[in-house]
Chain A
Amino acid sequence: MTVASPDLTRTRSQHPDGSRRIRVPGIPERLKYGLLGFLVVLPLWEAVVRLGLVKRVTLSSPSLILEAAWEDLIINGTLWPHIFQSSQQFFLGLGLALITGVPLGLALGLFRRLNYFLDPWLSAIYATPTIALVPLIILILGLGLESKVFIVWLEAIFVIVVTTMVGVRAAEARYLDLAKSFRASRWLTFRSVILPSSFPYILTALRLGVTRALVGVVVAEFFAANKGLGFFINFSGTTLRTDRVMLGVILLGLLGVVLGEGVRRIERRYEKWRPEFR
């Protein structure tokens, strides 16, 4: 059979009903299987809790979490002040980390001696888990907003500094030669070659900074806070309200995904600049 008309028989044997399968590559298939994941996992989770295989207080369940979200976000709105508090700390901390981290990263990439001078300090602080510094930070800055913003800043700044620095080093020799050949001033060389070369890296730094800042928010609010999503999660946990714990975690996760995707969109627009795309 296969000898006579191999192509035809093969096609027939694959699709005995004669239906044509159209493969749409990329996003639709991704979406399809992604949604399928939810449709499998969520009912399974619900069932496991409903059947009493796992206690409600241990794992909660999708319907209980949804109920908690309905109550806290819409009926009485008690979650909004926490979200607002966390957002404030997040954006202040990340904003400060960008304002300070990007120029510092640029400077470290440009000036070798400054790099040598600061490197041991940066490495030491980078290697120290931020959480270990929290008591010290609270001791110095108190329990207010300052200490929390500082923790977010500290958590986010290093990845921003290091990524920006790598961006400066990524400036290609041929562009630097070109600027030199036309006798560009140091300032113009910086503006026309180094800054645009490192721009995609600065966007990557921002994306990585978003993730780190989110960690910072939770760390800051786990200790000595009376508001914020971190506090909400921690407090709900100690009062055995698992549905609220889950709700807080999901909100943080959503925030991370949405912000990260936003930055990734901007990044994609500048991908053509990157050397590996040329």
Chain B
Amino acid sequence: MDMGLALQARDVRMEYVDQATGDRLLAIDRVDIDIAEGQFVSIVGPSGCGKSTFLKIVNGLFPATAGTIEIRQSPKGVAHAMVFQDSSLFPWYDIVDNVAYGLVCQGVPRKEAQRRAQPLIDLVSLTGFEGKFPYQLSGGMQQRANLARALTVDPEILLMDEPFAALDAQTRELMQAELLRIWNEANKTVLFITHQIDEAIYLSDRVLVMSARPGRILADITIDLRRPRKLEIKRTPEFIAYADQIWGLISTQLKPHIHDKAAHPGGEAVA
């Protein structure tokens, strides 16, 4: 793998066999991605394009059918950690135990794991909520804990699978700004999956646009907006120009997808 890269994916391909019909389904095909260290990269694309599938392959939840994914090995932390779409906090653990879970998985004793989780709890502004249980927290706070849990294991690359999709619009905006603050402090490489174009532009150094199934990388757009970015930046002409460009690329993908959906009644809805 090239120097200075945190992740390098080459020719990644994923095929499913439909259990009911026995048909082979090509989910993603010929995906090449390079992510430089410290970069914030988003993948956007229509629903069902395989962007979450790609992230799960990177996360090692299942293997790709073909291709290679290399992730820079960290000398101290782990290669990657995932922030899931639903917070997936254990309802039977309080917040500190949830955040410390990644360390416990590495064999760190519980007390020490809790101690090491504290700075991350502070970082995501959950100080004082250590002893609370997930159901006592709002959706936004749950996602903060979710983020802290992933950061606790000090991953080389942070994988985020539509982490704000379940939040209401205002909370989502605030969490986006929070994420940038935390990213700035934690200094991590991030691979972020979303179907929200403005979210991707606002957060990222680069936005990768994925095609409808089979998912391929259609475009790699560098977002040249000055950091730190305020939420108001979303109303600037430059920002809107990026949004138009990306929306134009995605909309070319929607027609065949709708057609495809009509042919298969079980297909996913278009966002």
Contact = CB atoms under 8 A, between A and B. Distances in A.
Interface of A: 174-175, 177-185, 188, 192-193, 196, 199, 272-273, 278
Nearest to A273: B91
Interface residues of B, number: 21
Given A188-B104, A278-B135, A180 B61 contact: yes
B157 interface: no
Given A177-B61, A181-B82, A182-B153, A192 B88 contact: no
A273 B84 CA distance: 19
A272 B101 contact: no
B105 A183 contact: yes
B113 to A, nearest CB: 12
B162 to A, nearest CB: 13
Contacts of B82: 178, 181
A182 B102 contact: yes
B151 interface: no
Contacts, number: 49
B59 A181 contact: yes
Given A196-B90, A272-B135, 13 more contacts: A177-B84, A177-B88, A181-B59, A181-B61, A181-B81, A182-B81, A182-B105, A182-B153, A188-B104, A188-B105, A199-B92, A272-B91, A278-B91
B90 A175 contact: yes
Contacts of A193: 90
7 contacts: A174-B88, A179-B105, A180-B60, A183-B78, A185-B105, A188-B105, A196-B90
Nearest to A277: B135
Given A174-B84, A181-B61, A192 B90 contact: yes
Binding site secondary structure of chain A: helix
Given A182-B81, A278-B135, A273 B61 contact: no
Nearest to A179: B105
Interface string B56-98: 0001110000000000000000100110101010111100000
B84 A182 contact: no
A167 B4 CA distance: 47
Contacts of B153: 182
A193 to B, nearest CB: 7
Contact of B105 (A177, A184, A196, A273): A184
Contact of B92 (A178, A179, A185, A196): A196
Contacts of A273: 91-92
A58 to B, nearest CB: 54
Contacts of A177: 61, 84, 88
B192 to A, nearest CB: 16
Nearest to B153: A182
Contacts of B84: 174, 177-178, 181
Nearest to B134: A278
A178 B105 CA distance: 11
A178 B106 CA distance: 14
A184 B59 CA distance: 14
A68 to B, nearest CB: 48
Given A174-B88, A193-B90, A182 B101 contact: yes
A178 B91 contact: no
Nearest to A275: B91
Contacts of A182: 81, 101-102, 105-106, 153
Contacts of A184: 105
A38 B4 CA distance: 81
A76 to B, nearest CB: 51
Nearest to A199: B92
B118 to A, nearest CB: 19
Nearest to B86: A174
B63 to A, nearest CB: 13
Contacts of B102: 182
Contacts of B60: 180-181
A177 B56 CA distance: 10
Q: Taking each of B86, B90, B104, which has the highest tally of chain A beta carbons within 10 Å of its own beta carbon?
A: B90
Nearest to A196: B92
A179 B135 CA distance: 20
B55 to A, nearest CB: 11
What 9 A-B pairs are tightest by C-beta distance, nearest first? A196-B92, A182-B105, A184-B105, A178-B88, A181-B82, A182-B102, A174-B88, A273-B91, A272-B135
A182 B93 CA distance: 16
A175 B88 CA distance: 6
Nearest to A182: B105
A185 B107 CA distance: 9
Interface in B46-61: 59-61
